[in-house]
Amino acid sequence: MRFLIYDDECDFCCSIVRKLTSLSSKSGITYIPLKSPKGEELRNYYNLQNVNSVIYLDGKDNIYIKAIAVLNVFRIMKFPYNLIYLFKIFPVSVLNFIYDFIAKNKMKIK
């Protein structure tokens, strides 16, 4: 089973998850709040207690964090949204820089 663990205390994050949910209804992703009992359970199981970012578990014991997590969610979506996965050609450091910039400025972006 696939899980996307997200910060449910962030309005921006919640609005993105709502949009993703409507676009990926048949993808088999379960969206779990970061601080929920299930979110805590998964973070403890995978030793991710210090991760305060989006986490994607693909059901094959692969763990993705930050920008790569988001890209992997888009990867399994329908066309044309799955094309966003092509951004994976950029270095992870660049993608995470962009992710961190958006996370830092999420209140202004919303």
CATH code, domain with 98: 3.40.30
Measured distance CA(6)–CA(14) in Å, rounded: 8
pLDDT tens, position by position, 64-92: 999 999 999 888 888 888 899 999 999 99
pLDDT tens, position by position, 55-69: 999 988 899 999 999
- Residue 24: which pLDDT band, with cuts at 50, 70 and 90? low
Q: At how many degrees (to 10) do helices 67-75 and 92-104 cross?
A: 100
Specify the pTM: 0.86
More confident residue, 22 or 63: 63
Structural domains in the chain (count): 1
Q: Which domain holds residue 38?
A: 2-109
Residue 57 · residue 5 · CB < 8 Å: yes
Residue 104 · residue 98 · CB < 8 Å: no
**Alpha-helical runs (H) found in 24-90:** 37-45, 67-75
More confident residue, 91 or 9: 91
